[in-house]
Structure 1
Amino acid sequence: GDRFMLLYQSANRDTDIFDASDEFRLDRKPNRHIAFGYGPHMCIGQHLAKQELRIMLEELLPRLTSIEVVGDRRVVQTNFVGGLRRLPIRLDLG
């Protein structure tokens, strides 16, 4: 056997699967992302994480009047995943 590596960054931006693949769109349906893995290796905490994010957005977005980046971002990049380690923001709530 050959070995292979699944690159989530590439798979979740596949233009054959996702319209506007570089946009963060909460209304994407069906959303066939693999952020939580796939098959027997799927994250067992995915449902809790999705519920927490849904509740946070439902509570925050109606109150949010502005959002502003107020500092430099720090990016994490590995061979497995990438993302933000730090992104200072200011939220104004009404």
Structure 2
Amino acid sequence: MDLKKSIRNQTDVSLSLAKHVSLSESKDSNLVFSPLSIHVVLALIAAGSKGPTQTQLLSFLNANSTDDLNSLSSHLVSLVFADGGPSGGPK
């Protein structure tokens, strides 16, 4: 798995989600969402699915396999929780 490519793909998916969400909201409203959280949830669903559902999720997430998604998640977790403190908190 190419980590830089996977992160770039995840960023592209996040920007696409943000574009679609912002187009559906009125100009007088506020919205906050976590693209990374959505990506993780969809990756979990992809890991538990089979057949056309899994194929569609992998296509949407720009991933070749659930193994690639798992590897990306592992790398991201190790970066986010890199402080190594006893509480396991983020940097």
TM-score computed with the length of structure 1 as normaliser? 0.24
Bigger RCO (CA 8 Å, 6+ sep) = 2
The TM-score, its normalising length taken from structure 2, stands at 0.25
Structure (1 or 2) with the larger CA radius of gyration: 1
Whichever structure has more helix as a proportion of its residues is: 2
